Amino acid sequence: MGREHPLFEIEGVTPRFGGVVVLDGVDLVLEAGQAAAVVGPNGAGKTTLLRCAIGADHPDEGEVRLGGDPLRATDPAVRAAIAAVLDDVEFIPDHSVAEHLDLIARAHGDPEPTAGFRALAVKMRRCPAGSIRSCSTRKRCVRRCSPH
């Protein structure tokens, strides 16, 4: 039996800041098992798109849907299904990267981080990011240690 709606869909998303169009009618459809990467130079709107995709920001036009339903970031089922760690948010400044990831996984319903997280944590231990406290140094190290 096929799925009636895509697992995740962004349709016509257009956020504006002060009347300036940041993204113009972005569309994205993901089915179960698919992944997407958003790439571009600084200021291209990658973080803005992600913030709209997770419900942290609301676009001026367009809609984000999860399983065919409008995404509601306050819905516990949505919060359990979608997690993001954004560049512009530092939850607890003295936590390491591994501690941040563990916190996010647990906050989104994973009582014990998954095997994928544990594998990343092992890789982080090989990279100094697992214990680094400086936000900018952590970000550089995470980028260097993350799978490409």
Mind giving me the DSSP string for 92-137? -TTS-HHHHHHHHHHHTT-SS--HHHHHHHHHHHHSGGGT---HHH
- pLDDT bin (cut points 50, 70, 90) of residue 105 is confident
55 in the same domain as 28: yes
- Answer yes or no: do 60 and 8 share one domain: yes
140 or 77, which is more confident? 77
pLDDT (tens digit per residue) in 5-44? 899 999 999 999 998 999 999 999 999 888 888 888 988 9
Residues 59 and 96 in one domain: no
Full residue range of the structural domain in which residue 60 is found: 1-88
Number of domains composing the chain: 2
Tell me the whole-structure pTM to 2 decimals.
Answer: 0.63
Q: Do 14 and 37 sit in the same domain of this protein?
A: yes
Q: What is the mean pLDDT of residues 104-132?
A: 61
CA 51 to the chain's CA centroid? 8
Whether residue 106 has pLDDT greater than 90:
no
CA–CA gap between residue 130 and residue 97 (Å, rounded): 5
Are both 62 and 22 inside the same structural domain? yes
Nearest to 3 by CA among 42, 41, 29: 29
Beta-carbon count within 10 A of 73 CB? 13
Going by pLDDT thresholds of 50, 70 and 90, the confidence category of residue 45 is very high
pLDDT over 70 at 85, yes or no: no
Same domain (yes/no): 63, 94 = no
Residue the block writes with tokens 């544990």? 118
pLDDT of res. 23: 95
Residue 32: strand, helix, or coil: coil
| 142 pLDDT above the threshold of 70 | no
